[in-house]
């Protein structure tokens, strides 16, 4: 694979050799200008000369993580310290993958390790991952092959695949019904999980604020549009601007952003608890168990924050002067309609979790596995466009399936605040819509809903990546 590194580190006499001497020889080879330190360009050139294939930012990552005195290079002590620490991490990862402790990793152990992290791959895909590391063609990887492959790769494990293919943490399209992401043991113990959730929450807040006018238009059309009262996008926006000015386009956005934090936290904690309860074997979770745990976690979070959902709909649809703010809205609903009003539309909302989360998960997993089997030759990193494309397609499919239930939920939440509106239960409301407007009556407001998907995904991804950098998370 790269003979120079193998010769220095993995020769047959390595046990008798002095590791620090090997480090010295390698350092001397990389330090081409002989200034006593290895900088990014020297490391990049040296790795290329040795035939080591790495990602674009690999050299920069190695220098940044080892450079303690911040002089943009590694002196000999920093260089050896980095390699020793990195080797320790590699050893831990190797041991965690070597399920039967025979000193080798085979493709079934790779498959099992990824399944434990909530990602099912085929035997063929597991073999492809193994082949990319296996030097001697034995279809198993021993410690020396493993160390050789990853020594100059800042990634320390196959868990990179999981990190690259995170889905719900990265994208926020306004709905929070996706199955939560899996976090590796390393992410849980180092505290990276809460930083990732925080980055995701901030991305969601900015994304929802950026697409709030389209979200308000969607709710407006869901509640008010009908065959007799046709509302176009342009006409709807004109009506809103005339009634409340430019700021009225952001009505309901405050509470929509505010509910992200409690919902994310409750969902994550509930998901971890349900996984333990539902897993057929401790520490291992199958796809169907993950789906059940995710759906139950979503239902738990929705139950806890549902009054905020009702208030969001009421505040979004409010007329100028109707409510002075969130607390005034809650007080008026409680006084006029009682506590029950805060759970109007709850049943269709909970039922909607199943088709949304199920289809979103199934489509995303299918697209991910297709990409991994066809294109994951040198890296598990699919790149930004593939990642966003898969996430957008899967979420859109999930929305399409659950949209009629979302429309029924919104109408039930809003009906008490509409003058002369009949208070209908779910079944009768569906029947009435189908009789008066036909099947497509259940898809009122779908156009502004789909229009906000691409900007929402783009904004949330950009903010998420910047937040990750700011919080010191690995790219």
SS3 105: strand
Whether the predicted pLDDT of 51 surpasses 70: no
pLDDT band at 15 (very low <50, low <70, confident <90, very high): very low
Q: Which two tokens stand for residue 157?
A: 């494990």
Higher-confidence residue of 374 and 388: namely: 388
**pTM recorded for the entire structure:** 0.67
Tell me whether strands 37-38 and 104-106 are parallel, antiparallel or unpaired. unpaired
Whether the predicted pLDDT of 117 surpasses 60: no
37 beta partners = 75
**How far from the centroid of its chain's Cα atoms is residue 3's Cα?**
38
Q: HSE on the CB side for 359, CA within 13 Å?
A: 17
Start-to-end CA distance of the chain, whole Å, equals 26
Q: Count the Cβ atoms, other than its own, within 10 Å of residue 435.
A: 9
| Mean pLDDT, range 87-107, rounded to an integer | 77
SS3 194: helix
Per residue in 62-80, pLDDT (tens digit) is 887 778 888 888 888 888 8
Whether the predicted pLDDT of 208 surpasses 90: yes
Q: Which two tokens stand for residue 4?
A: 């120079």
Residue 8 confidence (pLDDT): 40
Residue 54 confidence (pLDDT): 58
Residue 275 confidence (pLDDT): 86
Nearest to 354 by CA among 409, 294, 307: 294
| Domain annotation for the chain: domains and CATH numbers | 1-168 (1.10.238.10), 185-471 (1.50.40.10)
């Amino acid at each position: 694979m790269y003979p120079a590194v193998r010769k220095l580190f993995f020769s047959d006499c390595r046990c008798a050799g002095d590791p620090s001497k090997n480090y010295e020889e390698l350092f001397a080879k990389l330090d081409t200008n002989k200034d006593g330190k290895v900088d990014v360009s020297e490391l990049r050139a040296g790795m290329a000369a040795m035939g080591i294939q790495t990602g674009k930012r690999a050299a920069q990552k190695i220098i940044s993580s080892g450079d303690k005195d911040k002089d943009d290079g590694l002196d000999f002590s920093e260089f050896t310290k980095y390699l020793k620490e990195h080797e320790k991490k590699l050893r831990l990862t190797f041991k965690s993958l070597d399920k039967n402790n025979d000193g080798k990793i085979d493709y079934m152990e790779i498959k099992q390790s990824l399944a434990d992290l909530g990602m099912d791959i085929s035997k063929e895909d597991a073999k492809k991952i193994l082949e990319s590391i296996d030097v001697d063609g034995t279809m198993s990887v021993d410690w020396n092959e493993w160390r050789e492959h990853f020594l100059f790769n800042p990634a320390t494990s196959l868990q990179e695949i999981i990190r690259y293919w995170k889905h719900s943490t990265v994208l926020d399209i306004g709905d929070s019904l996706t199955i939560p992401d899996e976090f590796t043991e390393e992410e849980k113990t180092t505290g990276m999980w809460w930083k990732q959730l925080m980055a995701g929450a901030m991305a969601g807040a900015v994304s929802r604020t950026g697409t709030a006018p389209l979200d308000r238009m969607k709710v407006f059309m869901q509640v008010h549009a009908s065959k007799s009262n046709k509302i176009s996008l342009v006409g709807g926006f004109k009506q809103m601007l005339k009634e409340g000015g430019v700021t009225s386009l952001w009505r309901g956005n405050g509470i929509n952003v505010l509910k992200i934090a409690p919902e994310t936290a409750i969902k994550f904690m509930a998901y971890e608890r349900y996984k333990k309860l539902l897993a057929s074997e401790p520490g291992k979770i199958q796809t169907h168990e993950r789906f059940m745990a995710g759906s139950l976690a979503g239902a738990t979070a929705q139950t806890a924050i549902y009054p905020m959902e009702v208030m969001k709909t009421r505040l979004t649809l409010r007329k100028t002067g109707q409510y002075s703010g969130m607390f005034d809205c809650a007080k008026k609903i409680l006084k006029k309609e009682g506590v029950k009003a805060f759970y109007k539309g709850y049943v269709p909302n909970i039922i909607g979790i199943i088709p949304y989360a199920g289809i979103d998960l199934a489509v995303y997993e299918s697209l991910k596995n297709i990409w991994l089997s066809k294109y994951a030759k040198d890296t598990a990193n699919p790149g930004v466009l593939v990642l966003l494309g898969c996430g957008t397609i899967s979420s859109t499919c999930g929305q399409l399936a659950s949209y009629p239930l979302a429309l029924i939920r919104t109408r039930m939440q809003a009906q008490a605040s509409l003058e002369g509106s009949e208070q209908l239960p779910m079944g009768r409301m569906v029947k009435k819509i189908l009789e008066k407007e036909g099947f497509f009556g259940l898809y009122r407001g779908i156009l502004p809903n789909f229009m906000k998907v691409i900007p929402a995904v783009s904004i949330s991804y950009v903010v998420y990546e910047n937040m990750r950098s700011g919080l010191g998370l690995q790219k």
